[in-house]
Amino acid sequence: MNGTHEGRERLLLVDGMALLFRAYFATSFTGSIRRTSAGIPVNGVHGFVRYFLDAVKRFGPTHVICCWDMGSTTFRTEQFSDYKGNRPDAPDDLKPQFDLVKEVVDSFGIPNVGIVGYEADDCIGTLARLHSGAADVFVLTGDHDMLQLVNERVTVVIMKKGYGNYAVYTPSFLLEERNLTPAQIIDLKGLMGDTSDNYPGVKGIGEKTALKLMQEYGTIENILDNLPQLSKSIRAKIEADLDMLHLSRDLATIRCDVPLELALDQCLWKLNRSTVETKFDELEFGSLVKMIG
């Protein structure tokens, strides 16, 4: 397995919202949503469990933590009020599943972690930094922003379309596939912005130009030191948007110093089968029992 060291602990950090949303939308587009006999929608939770258990089987963690966003107000919305301002409300059928999915995670004996004022990404970054000395860390997500966390001890596993498909990012795979280092992921976002998070970067600079600048100059500082070498139009765009360039880079930076402490021994992966089966019975997930082995 990439990025692992023989005999070391292995920590799986799960981006809970990424899995839940992916699971919900992968099934809801058909128009028929899985419900319990009492009518409670559970399609997202059902898919979450399938994705999660497949990843456990594939990456074999000794420890697991699941991280969540805690509402839409964070230090980033204080810095930039439009941050994620383009996100629609969660669909009505998804809303009751936010609490249900955490109950399922509880039944697995896994800590649910979230800190008000921060995003799940920041909790994941902090926990990765905290525990990568003692464990090989795997981050399970669909969010390419997380690639900035990659290092020799932290592997980012991006869920791809279709069930059980992953892109496994180590520093060498990131370099090979994108010709970028983890730190350059942040600078790239500073330049081009992020439409899904609703911050603009430098107006008029898209991914292609941003990548070209990163390949040529390596960092935003280096680009700014070499402004006279740039084409007139690119130089003008950057000079007109310097404040937004710095703000966008800051918004893109995952914080790894969130006030959060969780000892490794509090998140041992050790299923209590009867607890899980009780929860699965309640949600009418009979077909998933065989996945818990």
Distance CA 195, CA 67 (A): 23
Beta strands in 142-290 (DSSP E): 154-159, 166-169
The separation between CA 121 and the C-alpha centre of its own chain, rounded to angstroms, equals: 6
pLDDT score at 6: 61
pLDDT score at 4: 56
Query: Which sign does the torsion angle of CA 236, 242, 246, 251 carry?
Result: negative
Torsion of CA 221, 235, 179, 127, to 10 degrees: 40
Number of domains comprising the chain: 2
If you average pLDDT over residues 11-28, what whole number do you get?
A: 95
Distance CA 105, CA 222 (A): 45
Task: Mark whether 55 and 122 lie in a shared domain.
Answer: yes
Task: Mark whether 80 and 60 lie in a shared domain.
Answer: yes
Task: Mark whether 87 and 190 lie in a shared domain.
Answer: no
Q: Is residue 4 part of a domain?
A: no
What type of residue sits at position 122? D
pLDDT tens for 122-133 read 999 999 999 999
For residue 174, give the H/E element and its range. Answer: helix 171-178
Q: Is residue 175 part of a domain?
A: no
For residue 187, the domain's CATH number is: 1.10.150.20
Q: Is residue 122 part of a domain?
A: yes
Task: Mark whether 64 and 99 lie in a shared domain.
Answer: yes
pLDDT tens for 32-70 read 899 999 999 999 999 999 999 999 999 999 999 999 999
pTM: 0.94
Distance CA 56, CA 58 (A): 5
Task: Mark whether 242 and 272 lie in a shared domain.
Answer: no
Distance CA 59, CA 207 (A): 32
Q: Is residue 2 part of a domain?
A: no
Task: Mark whether 80 and 190 lie in a shared domain.
Answer: no
Q: Is residue 238 part of a domain?
A: yes
**Direct distance between the N- and C-terminal alpha carbons of the chain, in angstroms, rounded to an integer:** 22
Domain limits at 188?
182-252
Q: Is residue 3 part of a domain?
A: no
